[in-house]
Amino acid sequence: MYLKNLKLINFRNYNQLELEFHPKVNVFVGDNAQGKTNIVEAIYLTSMAKSFRTSKDRELIKFDKEQAYVSVSAKKRYTDVEVALKLTANQKKQMKVNKVSITKNSEILNNIYVVIFSPEDLKLIKEGPSERRKFMDNEISQMKPSYYHNLSQYQKVLLQRNHLLKKIYRDEKYKDTLDIWNEKLIELGSKIMMERSKFITRISPLSRLIHRKITENKENLEVKYASNVPFDDDIEVLKSTFRKKLEESLSVEIKRGTTTVGPHKDDIGVFVNKIDIRSFGSQGQQRTSALSLKLAEIELVKAETSEYPILLLDDVMSELDINRQKFLIKSLRDVQLFITTTEIHCLDELNVESEYIFKVHEATVTNKKY
Ligand SMILES: Nc1ncnc2c1ncn2[C@@H]1O[C@H](COP(=O)(O)OP(=O)(O)O)[C@@H](O)[C@H]1O
Ligand SMILES: [Mg+2]
């Protein structure tokens, strides 16, 4: 799929912006703090109904304004789709898909497919487990909106349960109501674990293949689902293991006032030639593996949805050495790219049509066409 255009009103530092895109490569060049990432962020918002930089919609609205508006239209294999969002300070955002209002964030998810790659993502392997959980969650949500729904329910249940644990610590009588919350946690948590396991099973061979190519057969990448509750393909077995683990840790949980068991403690194990590179990998290995995973994600979205996602490369080209840059560009022929960079020269390999090199300066975007 590809985006045909983008419209912004009062989004971040933009007053008003309308852009037409090339189906393949679009480049945004400019100094720091001019508004390049803001454009990428707006595109991401139309895909995921949230930003990758903040959880507060308020921050996306231009300072001193009350409302912001973002819309894109995209060409998909069989249909076209238009997604529009209106953000209002201190109110729920309004969203429309093909001019029809939708109410749940999850309903927006399988319209525009994006994969984003930023310097932060290069740290995916080096960072703590929460980054890797986020990676799973975002990717699965796009392909399966019901996952997103379960996940947000799970997070609510988790909060409630933690709250209850604190109450039980003060007064045992509240123990009676714990079972209800346990069952909700187990029900939702097990569904989440099943999906995560499926995701890792599918992305694992794809990323291994890509990693082999990048490293010229020198490295064998393995990613494994490291679930906090010992995993089982049979959801009933998984549920009963989960239940048992909760029982075992109850006294600790009451003392600490927090739930210590469940998918909110999951991780992904990442191994190169059998070595756990989360702790023992070189920086180069960690970064290359992150790149392999991201590229695998593109193939997975394609396999699951029959659409190639669009790829947002935010400030990432200059972070890669020339070989990895070349590999990246070569392997992305079928994907619409949005690249932000401070230096255009690192894109020599790309043969970008000059009309689609957008110069970004103080929230003004210019290109040759205009
Ligand atoms: N809500 C907002 N209203 C107005 N300006 C904003 C808002 N949020 C961020 N900015 C401005 O946007 C600029 C950063 O834009 P960004 O796209 O991140 O820059 P870059 O070109 O480096 O990617 C900064 O100048 C910042 O002050
Ligand atoms: Mg930026």
Q: How far is CA 156 from the centre of its chain?
A: 20
Element (H, E) at 112: none
Element (H, E) at 93: none
Element (H, E) at 186: helix 178-214
Residue 324 binned pLDDT confidence (cut-offs 50, 70, 90): confident
CA torsion sign for 150, 151, 156, 161 is positive
Q: What angle do CA 199, 323, 309 make, to 5 degrees?
A: 35
pLDDT tens digits along 191-204: 999 999 999 999 99
Nearest CA to ligand 1 atom 14: 33
Lowest mean pLDDT of 7-11, 17-21, 329-333, 348-352, name the range.
348-352
| Domains of the chain, first to last | 1-113+307-370 (3.40.50.300), 125-305 (1.20.1050.90)
Nearest CA to ligand 1 atom 9: 12
pLDDT tens digits along 45-91: 999 999 999 999 999 999 999 999 999 999 999 999 999 999 999 99
Which candidate, 31, 36, 60, 59, places its Cα nearest to that of 46?
60
User: Measured in angstroms, how far is the CA atom of residue 79 from the centroid of ligand 2?
Assistant: 32
Alpha helices in 103-177 (DSSP H): 129-143, 145-170
pTM above 0.95, yes or no: no
User: Measured in angstroms, how far is the CA atom of residue 111 from the centroid of ligand 2?
Assistant: 25
Residues having C-beta closer than 5 Å to ion ligand 2: 36-37
Q: What angle do CA 186, 188, 191 make, to 5 degrees?
A: 100
User: What residues flank ligand 1, with Cβ below 6 Å?
Assistant: 12-13, 30, 32-38, 59, 61-63, 340, 360
Ligand with minimal distance to 34 CA: 1
Q: Across the strands, what pairs with 2?
A: 75
Does 155 have pLDDT greater than 70? Answer: yes
CA torsion sign for 33, 39, 44, 50 is positive
Pairing relationship of beta strands 267-272 and 114-117 according to DSSP bridges:
unpaired
Q: Across the strands, what pairs with 357?
A: 27
Element (H, E) at 303: helix 283-305
* Token couple for 216: 């010229």
CA pair distance 336, 309, nearest whole angstrom:
8
Nearest CA to ligand 1 atom 2: 12
pLDDT tens digits along 237-288: 999 999 999 999 999 999 999 999 999 999 999 999 999 999 999 999 999 9
User: Measured in angstroms, how far is the CA atom of residue 60 from the centroid of ligand 1?
Assistant: 9
Ligand with minimal distance to 60 CA: 1
Ligand with minimal distance to 12 CA: 1
Nearest CA to ligand 1 atom 3: 62
**How many CB atoms within 10 Å of residue 229?**
22
CA torsion sign for 353, 80, 41, 109 is negative
CA pair distance 39, 18, nearest whole angstrom:
11
User: Measured in angstroms, how far is the CA atom of residue 272 from the centroid of ligand 2?
Assistant: 31
- Atom of ligand 1 minimally distant from the CA of 65: 3
Mean pLDDT of all residues belonging to the chain: 94
User: Measured in angstroms, how far is the CA atom of residue 353 from the centroid of ligand 2?
Assistant: 22
Lowest mean pLDDT of 7-11, 28-32, 116-120, 348-352, name the range.
348-352
- Atom of ligand 1 minimally distant from the CA of 59: 1
Q: How far is CA 228 from the centre of its chain?
A: 21
User: Measured in angstroms, how far is the CA atom of residue 13 from the centroid of ligand 1?
Assistant: 5
* CB-based contact 149:106 (threshold 8 Å): yes
CA pair distance 299, 103, nearest whole angstrom:
30
DSSP E strands, 10-152: 16-20, 25-29, 67-75, 80-88, 94-97, 100-102, 114-117
The confidence score (pLDDT) of residue 150 equals 97
User: Measured in angstroms, how far is the CA atom of residue 138 from the centroid of ligand 2?
Assistant: 21
* CB-based contact 350:358 (threshold 8 Å): no
Q: Starting from the edge strand earliest in sequence, which strands make up the sheet with 364-366, in order?
A: 114-117, 310-314, 337-341, 25-29, 357-361, 364-366
* Helix, strand, coil percentages for the chain (3-state, nearest 5): 50, 20, 30
